[in-house]
Structure 1
Amino acid sequence: MGNINSVVIATGTHGNEFTGIYLGKKFEQFPKLIQRPSFDTRVLLSNPKAFAAARRYIDKDLNRCFASEDIKNPQLASYEDILAKNIYYLLAEESKHQQQVIIDLHSSTANMQLTIILGSKHPFILQLAAHLNAINPDVRICYSQPTRDSNFLCSISELGFAIEVGPVAQGVLNAELFQKTEALIYQVLDYIESYNHGMNQPQTSTLTYYQYAGVIDYPRNEYGEIQGMIYPQLQFRDYEPLNPGEPIFLTFDGTAIAYQGTSTVYPIFINEAAYYEKGIAMCLTQKKTLEI
């Protein structure tokens, strides 16, 4: 693989996730912060109309609009579908002629700390993830196998990944998480600069990551109405082990509902506000180790 030629920092894919949006505005105001000698870096505000309205999206979730079948489908013509097509053809065309890294910035109401979500196991991305995990105690690595229903904006490039930061409420800024995200971006850019110059990076032989294994919905009645909440002792325990038989929900009548799985899992996106509409109370992951 040749040198990295450009980095795109995508912000506002969800218009009410302010951490990335305002960090991008800072970078546009002070562009020298993200420029490195060996490659170009620019900011892309992905969904400006949703940001102006302080909403996650206008018609549909932009970050679920990048499946190749959807991009090619002329019948899909909502605001976000058209936006996704424009972004896709712009960045995909650039990626044909250069090595391009796409960093898609998100924030979460769940206790995700600094989570890097990988959609591929490209060697460069794996080594970058291992490096960040080794130098930054807040960094967690997740791997999501791309499917038709989960092709995200960052999947446009083989060298794309997303960053989820939390916990932070929708439509607000949290200074501590803003600063942590900013520092993480600089660590990514510095790593790429060192890579382009052929400088030796600290070699990490193993990478611990969390692989998506499924989702769990809230308990519901026959009308589809939610009948329970995340169990109090599970709230904000993202990335901690969950064993069979341990409680995960508390119903409105005070009954605890236990996890019915057969093995230990590691839930993430616990009680994510944006996932209520998707029927997701938490995502389950398996903890794995990869030799790099």
Structure 2
Amino acid sequence: MNRINRVALVGATHGNEFTGAYLIKKYEQYPHLIGRDSFETLTLFANPKAFEVGRRYIDKDLNRCFKIQDLENPTLSSYEDIRAKDINQILGPKGKSQVDVILDLHSTTANMGLTILLGNQHPFSLQFAAHLSLTYPEVKVCWAAPVQSTLLKSICEFGFVIEVGPVAQGVLNADLFQKTEKLVYTILDYLEAYNQGSISQTNSTLTLYEYVKDIDYPRNDLGEIQAMIHQKLQFRDYEPLNPGEPMFITFDGKEITYEGESTVYPIFINEAAYYEKGIAMCVTEKRQVSV
């Protein structure tokens, strides 16, 4: 990337994730907080109808509506499909975006702390992530192998998601709200320094959690959940899960262990919004990347 001209801050992609929603409301009221000299900062309140009723979405998950085929399909007429097309006009079009960076602000019921989800491993993305993790050691960085992305952040090449948790749905947590706000300002300051050419080019190592797969809850033939996240695994996002260690516990107390061949690092453990998606946790591998 040669220069950053426009940055979009997005909140309320999911209407019951209040951290990002109320940060966007704050920035719309006090735009000077996110103003920087070398680029324009836009705000977008992604799913206002879902926010009004305190739900994740109205008809379908907005953050799964940004496949190019779906954006170009005039027959898709749900509220979120129409809203995705509107957002694509505001920030996109996808692949030729009017913005250079998207920061999509989310919260999770899982114990994810402060997490940055990368869209790619472009040198700019890795340098950006390395700077944040050096500035805030509590920040974790995740990446999923490129697929046909359905996420809002995929509108532009340098789209990033900030996930913070644990925060209950439809609830504000002052500590995590303030930490997220501080992280947003740090990111904007980094982008300003990048434009000014004042980022020091020092070699560093980035700890990257690379997505491997999703794991569902044990279910019966009717699709009903037959076990819960084991209490020894609950809230242990980013901690090692070794072969033979408990993952689930059935309602009658039987342990179900992890049967993989190597140590993995689960994230989004017991995320409330993922029950409907058939996801009990996402499994990642931890590796070191030279930046």
Q: Under a length normalisation based on structure 2, what TM-score does the superposition of the two structures give?
A: 0.96
Q: Which runs of 5+ in 2 are unaligned?
A: none
| Structure 2: distance between partners of 1:152 and 1:88 | 11
In the alignment, is the contact (CA less than 8 A) between 2:96 and 2:156 conserved in 1?
A: no
How far residue 5 of structure 1 moved from its aligned partner, in angstroms, is 0.4
| Structure 1: distance between partners of 2:238 and 2:94 | 36
Amino acid at match of 1:160: G
How far residue 202 of structure 1 moved from its aligned partner, in angstroms, is 6.0
Distance 1:203 1:151, change over 3 A: farther
Give SS of 1:221's match: coil
| Structure 1: distance between partners of 2:97 and 2:230 | 50
Match of 1:114 in 2: 114
Matches within 5 A, 1:111-260: 111-148=111-148, 150-201=149-200, 203-260=202-259
In the alignment, is the contact (CA less than 8 A) between 2:106 and 2:161 conserved in 1?
A: yes
Amino acid at match of 1:197: Q
Amino acid at match of 1:177: L
How far residue 95 of structure 1 moved from its aligned partner, in angstroms, is 7.5
How far residue 96 of structure 1 moved from its aligned partner, in angstroms, is 3.6
Root-mean-square deviation (CA, aligned residues, Å) is: 1.4
Amino acid at match of 2:186: Q
2:65 is aligned with 1:61: no
| Structure 2: distance between partners of 1:2 and 1:191 | 15
Percentage of identical aligned residues: 63
| Structure 1: distance between partners of 2:19 and 2:95 | 26
Match of 1:270 in 2: 269
| Structure 1: distance between partners of 2:114 and 2:154 | 19
Q: Which runs of 5+ in 1 are unaligned?
A: none
| Structure 1: distance between partners of 2:280 and 2:98 | 40
Q: Under a length normalisation based on structure 1, what TM-score does the superposition of the two structures give?
A: 0.96
In the alignment, is the contact (CA less than 8 A) between 2:93 and 2:155 conserved in 1?
A: no
How far residue 76 of structure 1 moved from its aligned partner, in angstroms, is 1.6
Distance 1:36 1:95, change over 3 A: farther
Give SS of 1:234's match: coil
Q: Deviations over 1:193-218 (max 9, x none)?
A: 11111113363432111011001111
Q: Deviations over 1:78-117 (max 9, x none)?
A: 1101111111132124974766110000000000001000
| Structure 1: distance between partners of 2:173 and 2:93 | 35
| Number of corresponding residues | 291
